[in-house]
């Protein structure tokens, strides 16, 4: 697909990942990129979605917008996260069909995989079990969107794409301690503790769970490549294939931030899914995607950004 002359709506385009995706689209010659804002278009409302399509008349929709958070936020908002993510996809895909869209791109989530999925996660195992309980409503809502895209391609001929990025991180991430994911939360805790001269930081769980992380620039490249090169919603993992335990991650962030205190583990809090690590061979074979930013380098860039922005970034995001 050539983006020149295409009108592209990027939901969530003003966010952490969306800014990078919009920048890449522009660099590939797309001159008409529209980013709907929640104040004007509540995408959980069918009326607002219909109005968005009428106002923007897109050829392509890249759906990045989501209501999401870390383990604590998922435990507090299971109903909201299911409703919001399911209703956004439901209305956006249905109106893509009604408006004869060229292509609809749905960004899924690794939370859709079974809790005890064999490692590394292969896309063929996506249905072989129930997701980890704390984020199952969010994960299932996203996975249902893939089913809808597949059904709409078979019945209506709507071209769709479904990618599954692993946990993202990087500058401009969400650093709110209650709703953020693990890397920004740990960076903020360590920097704050260092500056306050604290003796220790507190971390959820046992540290035994493992995760894989993808730098935001790499994720954006994978999404744009998938938009260019795919036309059916075969699930495609986007990741690095590198697994790290939360305990090792904490120790690395402690080292990189220069925090000298101890680490206290609260094992009354959940670890979440036991392991996460992706088989990324399908992305390599189907769209030519391989991550470029090394993990330690990505962490350094993220820490540097937070140290420069600090609480001003939180205020800007909440404004």
CB 167 within 8 A of CB 211: yes
- To the query of whether residue 152 is one of the catalytic residues in this protein, the response is no
Q: Which of 53, 84, 103 is nearest to 223 (CA)?
A: 103
Average of per-residue pLDDT across 110-129: 95
The pLDDT assigned to 314 comes to: 56
Q: Is residue 191 pLDDT above 80, yes or no?
A: yes
Quick one: pLDDT band at residue 313, thresholds 50, 70, 90? low
Q: Walk across the sheet containing 60-63 and list its strands.
A: 32-34, 7-11, 60-63, 103-107, 160-165, 235-238
Calculate the average pLDDT of the chain: 94
Beta bridge partners of 105: 62, 161
Contact by Cβ (8 Å): 92, 11? yes
What residues does each domain of the chain span? Answer: 7-169+214-241+275-293
* pLDDT of the residue at 319: 42
pLDDT at 310: 73
Query: Is residue 277 a contact partner of residue 210, using CB atoms and an 8 Å limit?
Result: yes
**Per-residue pLDDT, 270:** 86
Question: What letter would DSSP give residue 130?
Answer: P
DSSP class of residue 110? G
Q: Given this model, what pLDDT does residue 68 score? A: 85
pLDDT of residue 316: 52
Tokens linked to 138? 């969010």
pLDDT exceeds cutoff 70 at 258: yes
Q: Residues 225, 82, 266, CA angle at the centre, nearest 5°?
A: 95
> What pLDDT, on a 0 to 100 scale, did the predictor assign at position 72?
82
pLDDT digits (tens, 9 = 90+) for 220-257: 999 999 999 999 999 999 999 999 999 999 999 999 99
- Give the model confidence (pLDDT) of 31-84 as tens digits: 999 999 999 999 999 999 999 999 999 999 999 999 988 778 888 999 999 999
Active-site entry in 41, 138, 169, 215: 138
The per-residue pLDDT for 181 is 84
Query: 274-306, pLDDT tens digit by residue?
Result: 889 999 999 999 999 999 999 999 999 999 999
Closest of 76, 56, 73, 54 to residue 13, by C-alpha: 56
Q: Provide the pLDDT for residue 312.
A: 64
CATH of domain 7-169+214-241+275-293: 3.40.50.720
Residue 194 burial by Cβ neighbours in a 10 Å radius (0-12, 13-18, 19+): middle
Q: What percent of the chain has pLDDT over 70?
A: 97
| pLDDT computed for residue 77 by the predictor | 93
The model's confidence at residue 219, banded by pLDDT at 50, 70 and 90, is very high
The rounded distance, in Å, linking the Cα atoms of 283 and 129 is 23
Q: Residue 7 forms beta bridges with which residues?
A: 32
Residue 315 has pLDDT above 60, yes or no: no
């Amino acid at each position: 697909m050539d983006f020149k002359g295409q009108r592209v709506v990027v939901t969530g385009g003003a966010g952490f990942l969306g800014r990078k995706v919009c920048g890449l689209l522009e660099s590939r010659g797309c001159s008409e990129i529209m980013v709907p804002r929640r104040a004007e278009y509540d995408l959980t409302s069918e009326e607002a979605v219909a109005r968005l399509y009428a106002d923007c008349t897109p050829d392509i929709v890249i759906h990045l917008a989501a209501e999401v958070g870390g383990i604590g936020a998922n435990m507090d908002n299971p109903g909201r996260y299911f409703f919001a993510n399911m209703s956004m996809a439901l209305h956006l895909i249905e109106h893509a069909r009604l408006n004869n869209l060229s292509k609809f791109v749905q960004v899924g989530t690794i939370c859709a995989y079974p809790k005890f999925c064999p490692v590394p996660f292969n896309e063929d195992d996506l249905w072989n079990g129930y997701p980890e309980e704390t984020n199952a409503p969010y994960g299932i809502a996203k996975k249902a969107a893939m089913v809808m895209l597949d059904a709409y391609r078979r019945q209506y001929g709507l071209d769709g794409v479904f990618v599954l990025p692993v946990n993202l991180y990087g500058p401009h991430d969400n650093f709110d301690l209650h709703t953020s994911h693990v890397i920004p939360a740990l960076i903020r805790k360590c920097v704050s503790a260092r500056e306050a001269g604290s003796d220790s930081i507190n971390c959820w769980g046992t540290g035994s769970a493992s995760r894989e992380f993808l730098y935001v620039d790499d994720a954006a490249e994978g999404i744009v490549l998938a938009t260019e090169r795919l036309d059916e919603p075969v699930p495609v993992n986007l990741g690095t294939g590198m697994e790290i335990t939360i305990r090792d991650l904490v120790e690395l962030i402690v080292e990189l931030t220069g925090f000298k205190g101890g680490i206290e583990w609260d094992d009354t809090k959940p670890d979440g899914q036991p392991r996460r690590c992706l088989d990324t061979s399908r992305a390599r074979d189907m769209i030519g995607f391989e991550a470029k930013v090394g993990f330690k380098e990505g962490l350094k860039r993220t820490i540097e950004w937070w140290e420069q922005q600090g609480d001003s970034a939180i205020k800007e995001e909440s404004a």
